[in-house]
């Protein structure tokens, strides 16, 4: 198997993490987790777990934007083979998809989960059971998807899972519309932060995600994530162990936003930031629906990005000084053995 770590030996050594122990074990041994659970649940009493700051009592099952009360709703839990190779490895990333979302992205490819109340409400011990089940299947990590609005519940689940034998790195897979206060409660619990920096411009964020303040919150969140875990590092097997992995979905006609995001990452975070420049955007959900006679909703993004736009995004990232890009592992069958 070809390692995902950079071929240059000196660079590879700089981003090697061996031996490895999940960060949360040290906090658990120190007896620090009960206080984190208490602080997280306090966020739900006057809900400020994410930037929406709805100020409802979610402990009493009052809901607003995310439509989530006391307990997180889990849509699915399975070994995911569609993530980055350094996460999915050869036995999958143990993904736990939370239903509902604090964004309203009009192009969401998972809208049936993010915008609908599917799945079941799960108490912390139930989520912990899902985590241990994924570990038992041989998954390489536990990957919480869309956790921005359920950070307190995530903390509770980790607390329950550790004495049950959890020993995998934890991935926080997020839109980056996160509360910095919530992220600070996760300090020492999360090994790999994987935010998607979507938009740089306020107008785009307001129109396409219904959150005009998204850019400023994404910058603050990613800065805090990097403070906690630093650049992405790998084990000798090429699998990610700890650090920051930033995704950016290339969208049609938005090269200037991509360039601004990459420049900020290089200048304000680190030129060593590991970046996945994603080319899988396609019109979904509300994009392309009829708006008025002879018009379509969000017509300017009603197409896939061109190969030229994808290459231009990569070039903008390189010009900004970034150099650690996610690439598929190459094997004779383009699959993992």
Question: What confidence score (pLDDT) does residue 9 get?
Answer: 56
Model pLDDT, residue 6 = 45
Angle, vertex CA 333, rays to CA 332 and CA 334, nearest 5: 95
Which of 61, 64, 59, 20 shows the shortest CA–CA distance to 40? 59
pLDDT at 114: 87
- What pTM did the predictor assign? 0.94
CA 134 – CA 138 distance, rounded (Å): 7
Of 26, 70, 25, the closest CA to residue 45 belongs to 70
Q: Are 139 and 79 in contact (CB under 8 A)?
A: yes
How deeply is 13 buried, as exposed, middle or buried, from its count of CB atoms within 10 A (0-12, 13-18, 19+)?
exposed
For residues 158 and 201, the answer to whether their CB atoms sit within 8 Å is: no
- In this structure, the strands spanning 170-174 and 192-195 are parallel
The whole-number pLDDT of residue 261 equals: 98
Q: Residue 329 contacts by C-beta under 8 Å, 6 or more apart in sequence?
A: 1, 2, 4, 85, 238, 336
* pLDDT at position 335: 36
pLDDT by 10s per residue, the chain, length 337:
444 444 455 667 889 999 999 999 999 999 999 999 999 999 999 999 999 999 999 999 999 999 999 999 999 999 999 999 999 999 999 999 999 999 999 999 989 988 888 899 999 999 999 999 999 999 999 999 999 999 999 999 999 999 999 999 999 999 999 999 999 999 999 999 999 999 999 999 999 999 999 999 999 999 999 999 999 999 999 999 999 999 999 999 999 999 999 999 999 999 999 999 999 999 999 998 887 766 888 999 999 999 999 999 999 999 999 999 999 885 433 433 2
Local structure of 312: helix, strand or coil:
helix
> How many Å apart are CA 80 and CA 241, to the nearest integer?
17
Q: 96: which strand partners?
A: 77, 144
Domain boundaries, the chain: 9-281+296-325
9-281+296-325: what CATH class? alpha beta
Helices and strands (H, E) in the chain, number of each type: 12, 10
**Torsion, Cα of 63, 65, 67, 70 (10° steps):** -50
Q: Reduced to 3 states, what is the DSSP secondary structure of residue 247?
A: strand
pLDDT for res 59: 96
Tokens of 118: 């599917």
């Amino acid at each position: 198997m070809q390692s995902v770590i950079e071929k240059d030996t000196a660079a590879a050594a700089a981003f090697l993490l061996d031996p490895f122990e999940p960060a949360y074990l040290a906090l658990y041994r120190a007896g620090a987790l009960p206080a984190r659970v208490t602080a997280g649940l306090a966020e739900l009493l006057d809900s400020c777990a994410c930037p929406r700051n709805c100020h409802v009592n979610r402990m009493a099952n009052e809901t607003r934007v995310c439509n989530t009360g006391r307990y997180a709703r889990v849509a699915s839990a399975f070994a995911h083979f569609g993530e980055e190779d350094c996460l999915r490895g050869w036995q999958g990333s143990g993904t736990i998809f939370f239903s509902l979302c604090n964004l309203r992205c009009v192009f969401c490819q998972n809208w049936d989960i993010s915008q609908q109340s599917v799945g079941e409400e799960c108490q912390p011990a139930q989520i912990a059971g899902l985590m241990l089940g994924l570990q038992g299947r041989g998954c390489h990590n536990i990957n919480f998807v869309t956790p921005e609005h359920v950070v307190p519940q995530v903390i509770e689940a980790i607390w329950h899972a550790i004495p049950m034998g959890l020993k995998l790195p934890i991935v926080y897979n997020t839109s980056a519309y996160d509360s910095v206060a919530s992220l600070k409660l996760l300090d020492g619990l999360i090994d790999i932060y994987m935010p998607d920096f979507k938009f740089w411009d306020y107008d785009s964020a307001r129109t396409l995600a219904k959150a005009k303040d998204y850019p400023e919150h994404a910058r603050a969140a990613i800065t805090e994530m990097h403070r906690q875990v630093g650049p992405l590092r790998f084990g000798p097997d090429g699998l990610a162990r700890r650090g920051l992995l930033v995704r950016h979905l290339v969208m049609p006609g938005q090269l200037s936003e991509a360039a601004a995001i990459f420049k900020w990452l290089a200048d304000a975070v680190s030129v060593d930031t590991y970046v996945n420049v994603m080319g899988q955007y396609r019109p979904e959900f509300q994009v392309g629906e009829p708006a008025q006679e002879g018009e379509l909703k969000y017509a300017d993004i009603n197409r896939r990005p061109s190969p030229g736009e994808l290459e231009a995004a990569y070039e903008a990232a390189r010009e900004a000084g970034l150099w650690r890009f996610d690439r598929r592992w190459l094997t004779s069958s383009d699959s993992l053995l």
